[in-house]
Amino acid sequence: MFNLSDSFVNMTSLTELNNQNNLTNLTNLTNLTNLTNLSNLTTPNLTNLSNLTTLSNVTRPNSEHPDQVISLSMRNQLIITNGSVLLALGLAGLPSNVINMAVFRKMGLASSTTLSFLVLSATDLALAIIYSFIGVIMLDMAGLIWLPVNMAAVQYPLTPLVRGLNALGSWVTAIISVERCCVVAFPTRAKQIATRRLTGCLLLGMFLVQASIIASHLVSVKMVILPSDSGGRPRLFVDNSQTEKSVFVAFLFWGTSFPILICFAVIVISTIFLGVSLRQREKWLKSLPGTQNEGIERSRKLVRVVVSVSAIYIACFLPGVLFIWGMFVAPNSKLPNPVEGDLAFIVSMFARNFQAVSGMSNIFVYLKMNSKFNQCFKIVMCYACTRIRATFLSD
């Protein structure tokens, strides 16, 4: 998903920025803040999106505008809350998605749907790792923990990685939803339409697209550790001066954010279709003998799983999508600025928390609605417990 919290990219430690003696360090952030200078961008509506990569606190480090919507102290408190929640969600997503991957692998990859769910779990696992890391950085910014190096700037190279993974996750979810729609609409031809080979090619194609975007960005930046002039801790500095900013932002938008918006629309439409079809099928199933319901009942349960996963995706990504469209509706809004900057920053910051919820909650849907997943889950957990006991007893 388009990462709406990119305003963290250029943020240095809040505790350091509030100290007047450290304001001189802001001059070293010139290359980072230049990312918002996109006057030559051929797509005007992208200006707002790129402006989210600069935090208002960098341009206005230690003062408050009289019309400012959110005070600096309130913003800092919200950062603490957001960092704690994001870290908790990221850590919760680690074991849940590892278990999901193990269970789906145990179920076998003969089904294209199982393959898609496996890739979705792997994507959510990678995002959970990044969210946990960002949560730690945010707590360091707020002064709750102390890292040996100020790592705030590392979020700049993480931006395309998060966007690419969210794009891949949205793509997989859309494939799963459309595949179920084909099964409902064309039950006799579904297996010929949604084959495992076709699904694998679609997944691999999107993975290669996102990998190329991520790689092209990572090779264009240089990261160095700079010592502190005032005797404080060193900090990570990201040099992106070799990157053509307007080209990169446009490339990043059309390569990740725009496809995600399309996938979101597809998921909404397909979920509505599946929800209506599910209700109609449930009425139809009640009129059939029990002996004829077994195969249809399994298909119905799978549709319920897909609808539930898609509904979670829609609910968790809707705040971010609305925020993106808000940038298009108000193309002349210059973010960040003293009045709007903090509010936009807070809204985009919490949008990422909703995205993290989507990645860690799917396991509960699988456990509740899929009997085969439950069976394989018990087998995997029993095997894991046996291995753990054998390891500790042998020692």
16 pLDDT higher than 90: no
Residue 236's φ and ψ, nearest 5 degrees, are: -80, 130
pLDDT at residue 269 in the model: 95
pLDDT at residue 96 in the model: 94
Burial-class residue 199 by CB neighbours within 10 Å (0-12, 13-18, 19+): buried
* Token pair recorded at residue 347: 């809204």
389 pLDDT higher than 90: no
CA 80, CA 77: separation in Å to the nearest integer? 5
Residue 235's φ and ψ, nearest 5 degrees, are: -140, 155
Burial-class residue 190 by CB neighbours within 10 Å (0-12, 13-18, 19+): middle
184 pLDDT higher than 90: no
CA 245, CA 46: separation in Å to the nearest integer? 12
pLDDT at residue 204 in the model: 95
Residue range 320-329, pLDDT digits in tens: 788 767 766 6
For domain 6-34+41-394, give the CATH superfamily. Answer: Rhodopsin 7-helix transmembrane proteins (1.20.1070.10)
Residue range 65-76, pLDDT digits in tens: 555 566 777 777
pLDDT at residue 200 in the model: 93
In this prediction, residue 232 has a pLDDT band, given cuts at 50, 70 and 90, of confident
Residue range 359-383, pLDDT digits in tens: 899 999 998 888 889 999 999 999 9
The residues spanned by each domain of the chain are 6-34+41-394
- The distance of Cα 205 from the centroid of its chain, to the nearest Å, equals 19
Q: What angle do CA 77, 145, 152 make, to 5 degrees?
A: 80
pLDDT at residue 25 in the model: 39
pLDDT at residue 216 in the model: 82
For the residues 82-93, what does the mean pLDDT come to? 93
CA 200, CA 370: separation in Å to the nearest integer? 23
- Which residue's entry shows tokens 């397909």? 270
**Among 157-161, 177-181, 241-245, the least confident range:** 241-245
pLDDT at residue 152 in the model: 82
Give the mean pLDDT of the chain: 75
Q: Of the spans 40-54, 213-227, 280-294, which averages the highest pLDDT? A: 213-227
pLDDT at residue 56 in the model: 33
Residue range 97-107, pLDDT digits in tens: 999 999 999 99
- Identify the residue with better confidence: 312 or 48: 312
Select from 149, 67, 138 the least CA-distant residue to 343.
67
CA 138, CA 8: separation in Å to the nearest integer? 9
Q: Of the spans 133-137, 149-153, 317-321, 344-348, which averages the highest pLDDT? A: 133-137
Residue range 321-351, pLDDT digits in tens: 887 677 666 655 544 444 445 566 667 777 8
**Among 33-42, 148-157, 246-255, the least confident range:** 33-42
For the residues 294-309, what does the mean pLDDT come to? 77
Burial-class residue 148 by CB neighbours within 10 Å (0-12, 13-18, 19+): exposed
* Token pair recorded at residue 68: 């400012």
